[in-house]
């Protein structure tokens, strides 16, 4: 008996077996608006009362969990934030309760809480919104085209430089091993800085020439403008109420 079933599943079957991820299900401009609302509250809202910040912390934690970042990604990005965290934790315990000049213990604790919440928001946004989605969200909200062009070129430019730096690091490890004298490190650092500076200029010149060869006139072509749906208007209203409530509840 010949099995005439298709080798590949139909779109209906694939949608049932492999549900869309959060990046594919959530509109990018809605995620961007949520991130901006959280950051405005975290940076500008008064640091009182305590219950308001507990509720805000729960909302930010839910947003971070929805990002579904792996523990390796979270740990790697947490290491960037770790020096500031250590300084603020030490400041909370070592700085005086009330200080006329410099940091005091309450100010250090406030900066610590705001920094942790901002880090959670940015990490959740990186899980819900990739770079292409960020560009699409900027186009949907009609951000300046010149800014979007710079952002898109930066997203293309940074991975190239990261790959070049990794290649240089591997070559140094192969030639010198793990132990490099400090005098040699200073000399190598000076040489690499000058080399990478001229490398950046050459890469920028190549990008400029490639844009000219494709008849780039300096105008960023945006996608067709799509009006907001009723659910997006509702979400916008909820965020405005959230931001206004954070200022009123103080």
- The predicted-structure confidence for 210-248, as pLDDT tens digits, reads as follows 877 877 766 666 555 667 778 888 888 998 999 999 888
Written as six digits, the tokens of 18 are 């492999």
Q: Across the chain, what does the average pLDDT equal?
A: 77
State the average pLDDT over residues 47-64: 90
Tell me the average pLDDT across 189-193.
80
Burial group, residue 246, by CB count within 10 angstroms (0-12, 13-18, 19+): buried
* DSSP one-letter string for 62-76: HHHHHH---HHHHHH
Residues 101-130: pLDDT tens digits?
Answer: 556 777 878 888 898 999 899 888 888 877
Which secondary-structure segment (H or E) carries 202?
helix 182-213
Rounded CA separation 170/21 (Å) = 35
The structure's pTM equals 0.67
């Amino acid at each position: 008996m010949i099995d005439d079933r298709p080798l590949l599943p139909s779109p209906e079957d694939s949608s049932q077996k492999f549900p869309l991820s959060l990046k594919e299900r959530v509109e990018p401009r809605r995620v961007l608006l949520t991130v901006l609302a959280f950051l405005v509250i975290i940076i500008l809202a008064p640091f009182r009362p305590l219950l308001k910040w507990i509720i805000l912390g729960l909302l930010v934690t839910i947003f971070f969990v929805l990002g579904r970042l792996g523990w390796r990604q979270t740990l790697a990005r947490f290491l960037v934030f770790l020096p500031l965290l250590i300084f603020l934790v030490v400041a909370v315990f070592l700085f005086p309760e009330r200080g006329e000049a410099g940091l005091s213990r309450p100010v250090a604790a406030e900066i610590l809480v705001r920094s942790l919440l901002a880090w959670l928001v940015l990490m959740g946004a990186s899980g819900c919104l990739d770079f292409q989605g960020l560009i699409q969200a900027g186009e949907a909200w009609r951000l300046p085209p010149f800014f979007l062009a710079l952002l898109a070129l930066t997203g293309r430019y940074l991975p190239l430089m990261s790959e070049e730096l990794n290649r240089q690091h591997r070559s140094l490890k192969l030639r010198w091993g793990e132990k490099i004298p400090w005098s040699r490190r200073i000399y190598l650092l000076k040489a690499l800085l000058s080399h990478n500076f001229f490398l950046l200029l050459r890469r920028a010149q190549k990008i400029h020439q490639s844009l000219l060869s494709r008849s780039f006139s300096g105008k960023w072509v945006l996608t067709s403008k799509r009006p907001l749906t009723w659910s997006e208007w509702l979400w916008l209203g909820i965020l405005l109420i959230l931001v206004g409530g954070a200022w009123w509840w103080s």
